[in-house]
Every structure is written in structure tokens, then in C-alpha cells.
A and B are shown apart, each in its own frame.
Chain A
Amino acid sequence: MSEVPEKDPYEILGVSPLATQEEIRRAYRALVRRYHPDSGTEEASATRFLEIHQAYELLSDPARRRAYDRLHRERRGRRTTSFWWEVILSRQRLPALSEDQMVYVLVEIYPSKRVPVRRVPLNLVLVIDRSTSMQGDRLDYVRSATHHIVEDLDREDVFGIVAFNDHAETIVPSQPLTNREYVHSRISSIWASGGTEMLRGLLMGLEQVRRFHSQDRISHLLLLTDGHTYGDEETCIAEARQAGQEGIGISTFGIGEDWHETFLSTLARETGGTCVHISDPAQARRALREMIRGLCDIAVRDLWLTPRFPRQVRLESVFRCDPDVERLRPVGEEINLGALSVDAHLSVLLEIAVAPMPLGKHRLMQLELRGLLPDAGEEDRLLADLEIEVVEGAEEQPISTAIINAVNKVNLFRMQERAWQALEEGRREEARQQLEAVATRLLDLGETELAHAALLEAQRVAEGEEVSKRAKKEIYFGTRHLRIPEGGK
């Protein structure tokens, strides 16, 4: 997603918003001749061509054009909000059927240009696993990364450190960074021993975060671990969920290969945060630094998406699909999306089942998006009503490339999830087939390396061998961060 797709389809085709269908068609044809990749002209460009094609797809369909105009007007009128969005449906007309049908809704959220880029003070707590397995390289690199963080942070930032094994210890109580020497000396006192009981570390970390948690700071907990925790996963997730509702973010960093990717991902996503895989401990510093930089760049925080449905419509699942794929879980009817960075964008895909409805127009859902400006308590809100029309024998409708890409991405993530699940449940043959299917799809997308990894694992499964933990993490995180070529925005 290199450019901010604030592009107006009218602008792309170079026509007025009042243009007739005929004018739009003429403009499209002229542009195609110029930009088609096979046109042989100097201007030929696949991206530009797709962009033109998509703009035409949208504007040539009267229903979609009307919907766009309506949304666009609303957006224009709301230019003062700190974020804006684009809501795209996989189809707006459904055939009258006697069974449930599937509709996809893609919500793309961007920060507004006017958001001031002012750094909001951070309230950070680092929770470090210091169990025996961290001994050596791992803890050395984490300690060194922590020393660097202390130097990188500002004076107004608040910083604290908690370390845990079978019990937790506050190494540095949360405090403004006025005495860095003291903090450095405390970091050097962290040594490895004992087991991994994450809940204790998490609870003590959250306690420290809460001491300075307020509206004028970004509160965030960074958890670094290299292993499994036993028996307290559910409680950890419940705690994370609670923190998320208070507006505290959690990011998790898994070092090496022995940690549980689903658990650490879930922990982070409950707050709208992310989970990062650190395969080589030497990358710890860079990973932490990038995360903290992201926190400094927050444009909107506490983003919550609330879809409300009429009786005949049901939410099947929700995924974040950009910046990375993550299955989201609504709290009641609200979905925590965490924070939005200044130059980032966030996409959410909703999968919706629509029960049989009589012919005519119906409300599909109402969408509400709320978010807070990072430095003040000011809340912004966007609202949209989405409609569908049930018609007799609906004709083939073009599907927006953005939707296809998003669903494709989510689907790949699902396919590999299915593979691991089959494997866990001992259905090895199914797991093998599923991994091969993942590999095929990855190849289609030009992801040769990941495809290779998946094929190798399929082979291992076929030969009755254990799956490599490293490869599993590569595939799990690789498929979440796929760069599916954008069909132009």
C-alpha cells in the first residue's frame, strides 16, 4: 500500500462528478489506449491501468456510483474528523434465494491529513521473560535492546520494567526518565533462572502501566518471551482484553521457535496490538525500536468499530487484513482496532451471512467507527448505513479488486490455519494436502520462498516427520504479512 489511495475515481478518469455514463465510457477508452500494459506506449503501466479499470468499474455501475457519491459527500462534509474511511461491499444486489448468502464488507481506515504530527508522551512497560531458556544470547540481546530503549525515550516518557519467571519482580517501577543511570544499572541486574509463568509478569506489568495511564499518554505494554506458559493462558487473555477496554495496548514479541504463536497473537490482538516473531535474538533491538517508533506516530487511538445488524443479517467473522492478517473478536458488538499510525492504513474485513429476504431494498448494517485523538480526550465518530437490494435473478456484478485482494489474503491465512489444525488433530493426510494447497496459492502470488517452506513441511508430514517449528512460524507470520499486489486504489 505505497500511496495513500485518497484518489477520486472521477479524478482518475479525468471527468466531472456530473459526467454522463457515455462521457465516463469515452474517457475510460481513451485512457486504456494510453496506459494498457500491452499498448506499447511509453506510458504503459500495469498499476495505472488497473487503477483506471477500477475507477471505471466503480463509476460505470450506477448503483455503486451512487453509493460512492453518497459516502463521498458524507466524507467531504466531515473533513474535520481525525480519520476517514472507505466502505466497500462485495455486492449490493443479491439474487432472491431460499438459503443464506455471503456478503463481504471491507472497511479501509486512514488518518486524515490534518492530524497534527505531535509526539504524545509514552507510558511504556517492558515485561521480560527471564526463565532459564532465556539464558545466554537471548537475555543478552534483550538487555542490550532495553539499554537502547532507555536512551531513545524522551524525558516526558514514563518507563518501567518487570521481569518474570515463576514469579514476577518489578525491576524498575514506572517513572519519568529523569534518572537514566539508575535504570541502566537495574537492567544489568536481570539474570535468568526458573520457569515461565506469564500471568504473574503480565499482571505486574499492567499494574505498572495503570499507575501512569491517562488520556494524555499512550499506554503500552511490551511483552518479550521465548516459551510456553502453562495453564494460565485463558486468564492472560482475559486480562489483556480488560486492558484493551481501558485503552492500554499490548504488543508481544516471541523469541526463537518455542513459543505459541496463536496464544501470543491473541494476547496482542485483544488490545488491537501486534505480535512479532524474533527468530534471531540479535533482531530484538530493531523489533522493539520499530514498535516504539510506531507508538510515537499514533494519529488516532482507541479505535472501535461497531457493526449493528438487522435480524436477518449475521456477522460470521471479522479479520484485520492490513497491515497484517489477524482474526478479531468482538467484545459484545464492538471490535477493538487499537491505534492508527500517521502514515499507515488499516483494513478490516467483515464476513456476513444474509438470510433470505423478500425482493426490494433492505438495510444490511450500520457501521460506526469511533476513535480518540492521541493527546486529548476528543472523540471522533463516523457513521454509515449500508443497504442491499434483493432482486430476481441478479446479473453478474464486477467485484472490487480491493475486496478480492482482502478476501484472498484472509483466505490464505485460513488455509494455513486449517493445515495446522488438521495436524494437531492427527489428520496428517489432510494436513499435507492443505499445506500443498497453501504452497500452490503462494506460488500464484509469486511468494516462492514461503511456498517452498510450505512444500517442505508438506513433505515432512507425508513422511511422518515432525513439522519444523521454525517453518511453522515462518508460514504463520509470512502469510499474515503478504503483500498481495494491489489492483490500484
Chain B
Amino acid sequence: MIQCPTCGEKYRPGTLFCSKCGTYLPTGGSPRTVTLPTDRLSDVPYTPPETGALEKEAPAEPRTIQVRVIETDREVVLPPASELLLGRRDPMRGIFPDLDLTADGGIEKGVSRRHARILQKEGKVFIEDVGSANGTFLNDQRLMPYLPYPLRDGDRVRIGKLELEIHFE
């Protein structure tokens, strides 16, 4: 028998997925994001988003977003799209983020494959954590998952432990 590394269920050799927790057994679930030690990440309390964040304004075309990965000093210009995914590329699972942070040490820094989204609505830019394992932080405040928070030009966003600086006109 083989054992699921995540939950310990036993299966016949050759089984592909754990039917209890969903782990892909051949790789022992390694494409999953490793939960980082809780040294400080989870000590940061959640903050509610600013009110009026989603108020209507004149619709505008999506803007071009520039992201600088502080650690590696990599600058990426993201296309003007109303929704951009930040995470780690995983073709096996069909995940192709617009900003792939694998090359910036994404795995070690606790970046989930689907980590956060940059949204543009009615001319405003928002960031939303999409239920990542290690959280998304805006200017050192932890974001509530699935709630869009308004972004300002020059804001610092932390994806797990990876610092990003975000610019747009």
C-alpha cells in the first residue's frame, strides 16, 4: 500500500489522487504550497477594507500595472486586464498566473499557485487574496481572503514572504 503524505489514508500502488484530501499522490502532493512556520505571518491581524472601496465611478479602461519584485529587483509590466492572477505556474493543474513568481523563489517564500488577484473596476485598482495558504499583505496589513482592497500607486504588497511594489498611472 502507499500512504497519502498529507492525511495518511492508504491506497493501492498506482492510485493517482487521495479521495480524502485530494492530494496528487505520485508527487506526494508536492505541487501544493508548503505552509510556512507561523513566526510572524499569522500574528498580523486581519484588517477590514476601507469603506466606499467599491463605490461607483465613471468606468475606465483597465490600466497597465507595473510590479517590482523587491528581492530579485525584477520588473514586470502586466497587460491592461480587468483581472490579473498572481501565483505560481502549474501546467499540470492548468494554473497559469499572469504574474508567475516561481522564478523569484515563490515556493520557498510561500506563494500559492493561486495566491492573489489584481482587479480593476470602474477605474479603480484592487487587490484580493484568493484564499492563499500564507496570506497577502497590503502595507503590512493582512488582507481578509476574497475581499478586494483598494490599491494606490506605489503600494507595497506582500505575497507570502515575497515583497512587491506596485505602480500604475
Residues of chain B lying within 8 A (CB to CB) of residue A443:
114, 130-131
In Å, the complex CA distance between A169 and B68 comes to 72
Given A443-B130, A443-B131, check contact A487 B16 (CB 8 Å).
no
Q: Of B11, B20, B100, which is within 8 A of A415 by CB? A: B20
Determine whether the beta carbon of B14 is less than 8 Å from that of A91.
yes
Determine whether A294 belongs to the interface, using a CB cutoff of 8 Å to chain B. Answer: no
Q: Cβ of B1: which chain A residues have Cβ within 8 Å of it?
A: 99
Check if B79 is an interface residue, CB within 8 A of chain A: no
* A445 contacts B by Cβ under 8 Å: yes
B33 and chain A: residue at smallest CB distance: A444
Find chain B residues with CB under 8 A from A94 CB. Answer: 14
How far apart are B102's CB and chain A's nearest CB, in angstroms? 10
Check B48 for interface membership: any CB of A closer than 8 A.
Answer: no
Residues in chain B near residue A237, CB distance under 8 A: none
For window 28-64 of chain A, which residues contact chain B by CB distance below 8 Å? Answer: 37-38, 46, 49-50, 53
Decide if B13 touches A101 in the complex (CB within 8 Å).
yes
* A100 beta carbon closer than 8 Å to chain B: yes
Q: Confirm or deny: B15 has a beta carbon within 8 angstroms of a beta carbon on chain A.
A: yes
Chain B minimum-CB-distance residue to A488: B91
Does A441 sit at the interface, judged by CB under 8 A? Answer: yes
Query: If the complex has contacts A37-B96, A434-B20, are A100 and B26 also in contact, measured as CB distance less than 8 A?
Result: no
Q: Check A90/B14 contact, CB under 8 A, given A37-B96, A401-B92, A448-B130.
A: yes
Is A484 an interface residue when CB atoms closer than 8 A count as contact? yes
Residues of A contacting B56 in the complex (Cβ-Cβ under 8 angstroms): none
Give A97 to B12 CA distance when docked, in angstroms: 11
Give the residue of A401, A415, A444, A487 whose beta carbon is less than 8 angstroms from that of B114. Answer: A444
Residue B46 interfacial (CB < 8 Å): no
A487 interface neighbour in B91, B100, B131, Cβ under 8 Å: B91
Count residues of chain B with CB under 8 A from any CB of chain A: 28
Contact B19 A404 (CB under 8 A): no
In the assembled complex, the Cα of A53 lies from the Cα of B91 at a distance in Å of 11
Identify which of A50, A94, A95, A446 gathers the most chain B CB atoms within 10 Å of its CB: A446
Residue B21 at the chain A interface, CB threshold 8 Å: yes
Give the Cβ gap from B128 to chain A, nearest Cβ, in Å: 10
Chain A nearest CB, measured from B11 CB (Å)? 7
Across the interface, name the chain A residue whose C-beta is closest to B91.
Answer: A50
> Closest A-chain residue to B14, C-beta based?
A102
B40 sits at the interface (CB 8 A): no
- Find residues 117-133 in chain B having any chain A CB closer than 8 Å to their own CB: 130-131
Contact string against B for A residues 385-415, beta-carbon threshold 8 Å, 1 for contact and 0 otherwise: 0000000000000010101100110011011
Count of residues in A whose CB is under 8 Å from the partner chain: 45
1/0 per position for B17-33, CB-CB distance to A under 8 A? Answer: 11111101010000000
Interface-central residue, B91, B94, B130, B146, by most chain A CB under 10 Å: B94
B94 contacts which chain A residues (CB < 8 A)? 445-446, 484-487
A357 to chain B, nearest CB (A): 14
Q: Taking A353-B12, A444-B114 as contacts, is the C-beta distance between A408 and B91 under 8 angstroms?
A: no
Closest to B90 in A: A444
Flag whether A172 is at the interface (Cβ < 8 A): no
Give A457 to B101 CA distance when docked, in angstroms.
Answer: 32
Q: Are B22 and A412 in contact (CB under 8 A)?
A: yes
A101 touches B12 (CB 8 A): yes
> Is residue B95 within 8 Å, beta carbon to beta carbon, of the partner chain?
yes
Q: With both chains docked as a complex, state the minimum distance between the C-beta of B97 and any C-beta of chain A, in angstroms.
A: 10
Q: Which residues of B contact A444 (CB under 8 A)?
A: 22, 93, 95, 113-114
CA distance A451 to B114 in the complex (A): 13
Contact across chains for A418 and B92 when beta carbons are under 8 A apart: no
Determine the residue in chain A with the shortest Cβ distance to B93. Answer: A444
Q: Is the Cβ of B21 less than 8 Å from the Cβ of A437? A: yes
B98–chain A nearest beta-carbon distance, Å: 11
Could you say which of B11, B16, B91 contacts A407, with CB atoms under 8 Å apart? B16
**Distance (Å) between the CB of A102 and the closest chain B CB?**
4
Q: 8 new A-B pairs (CB below 8 Å) besides A451-B131, A486-B94? A: A53-B91, A102-B13, A403-B16, A414-B19, A415-B22, A437-B22, A438-B22, A446-B94
For this complex, 8 residue pairs linking A to B, each with C-beta atoms less than 8 Å apart, are A53-B91, A95-B13, A99-B13, A103-B14, A438-B22, A443-B130, A448-B130, A484-B94
9 nearest A-B residue pairs (beta carbon)? A485-B94, A102-B14, A411-B17, A441-B22, A102-B12, A407-B16, A101-B14, A102-B15, A437-B21
Could you list which residues of chain B lie within 8 angstroms of chain A, going by C-beta atoms?
Answer: 1, 11-22, 24, 26, 89, 91-96, 100, 113-114, 130-131, 146
